[in-house]
Chains A and B, each alone.
Chain A
Amino acid sequence: MKIELMLFAPVREAAGTARAVVPTHEGATVREIATAFLEQRGVRWDTLPPVRFAVNEALVGDDHIPQDGDRVAVLAPFAGG
């Protein structure tokens, strides 16, 4: 199965990409998927601000298990206005 990983702002800059289609295994959580992807690119969580996750534009917990084709977004703290 595959998900679309979406990265923004400081997370996008650290990873060097905004979007990636990522193969995952059944039962993998959003945090596990993002961790594996970032580690491949040499990025550790402790170099980033604390993040939350969204699946298909709705916030989810770190242990949410996405489905095939879901859009998984890694979100640094919001700073609009």
Chain B
Amino acid sequence: MEHASGKLIVRIEEGVIAEDAASHLADARSGAVASFRGVVRAHDGGRDVAAIEYECYREMAEKEMTGVLQDAMSRHDLHAALIIHRNGKVPAGETSVLVAVAAAHRRPAFDAVREIVDALKTRVPIWKKEHYRDGSSDWLLPR
């Protein structure tokens, strides 16, 4: 999708997010590509986590992720911005979300990534259930 000021990419994926998923954001105009990878932690509150199972309202999640990127583009001078979020069960140690942006300079790139990650957690209808090594599981609600 094209925004007035650059390219937006939003994906919800059932499979592994490729290591080079953000590599194509870079071009000769962009002096900075900044990214954030959220990784499923193997421990939470003293419990051993085997996996996190994500569930989303896909149509609304894609719309809201696009809105989050459009807002970031409006506030910062970005050439491109990307969110890829996993759906389904993600084992500990794997990437659950990738956010990346390309900009002319590092400051708007860093600022935009932080804002996108924060907005993602509050605006996008995605839920997660932690599965523990002892076989139990719990829905995680925001703290």
How far apart sit A57 and B56, CA to CA, in the bound complex (Å)? 12
- A58→B64 CA distance, assembly (Å): 9
Does A42 reach chain B (CB closer than 8 Å)? no
Smallest distance from the beta carbon of A81 to chain B beta carbons, Å?
5
- Say which residue of B38, B55, B61 sits within 8 Å of A81 (CB atoms): B38
Asked if B23 lies at the interface with its beta carbon under 8 angstroms from chain A, I say no
Q: Is the CB of B38 within 8 A of A78?
A: no
Across the interface, which residues of A come within 8 angstroms of B63, CB to CB? 57
In the complex formed, the residue of A with least CB distance to B83 is A80
In the bound complex, do residue A79 and residue B60 qualify as a contact, i.e. CB atoms below 8 Å apart?
Answer: no
Q: Which of A6, A54, A76, A80 lies in contact with B139, CB distance below 8 A?
A: A76
Nearest A-chain residue to B54, judged by Cβ: A80
A81 touches B120 (CB 8 A): yes
From the candidates A10, A57, A58, A73, name the one contacting B127 in the complex (CB within 8 A): A10
C-alpha spacing A10/B118, complex, angstroms: 23
Shortest Cβ distance from residue A79 to the other chain B in the assembled complex, whole angstroms: 5
Count of residues in A whose CB is under 8 Å from the partner chain? 18
User: Does B59 lie within 8 Å of A79, measured CB to CB?
Assistant: no
Q: Which residues of B contact A37 (CB under 8 A)?
A: none
Report whether B60 and A80 are in contact in the complex, using a CB–CB cutoff of 8 Å: no
Q: Are A80 and B124 touching (Cβ within 8 A)? A: yes
Contact, CB under 8 Å: B57 / A80: no
Decide if A1 is an interface residue (CB 8 Å cutoff). no
Residue from A8, A10, A12, A81 in contact with B125 in the complex, judged by beta carbons closer than 8 Å: A8
Q: Does B113 contact A (CB under 8 A)?
A: no
Evaluate whether A9 and B85 lie within 8 angstroms (CB atoms) in the complex, with A78-B126, A81-B96 already known: no
* Distance in angstroms between the alpha carbons of A73 and B139 in the assembled complex: 18
The answer to whether A80 and B141 have CB atoms under 8 Å apart is no
Smallest CB gap from B62: residue in A: A57
Given A9-B139, A10-B139, A49-B141, does the pair A78, B59 have CB atoms closer than 8 Å? Answer: no
B51: CB under 8 A from chain A?
A: no
Residues of B at under 8 Å CB distance from A?
A: 38, 54-57, 59-61, 63, 85, 96-97, 117, 120-129, 139-142
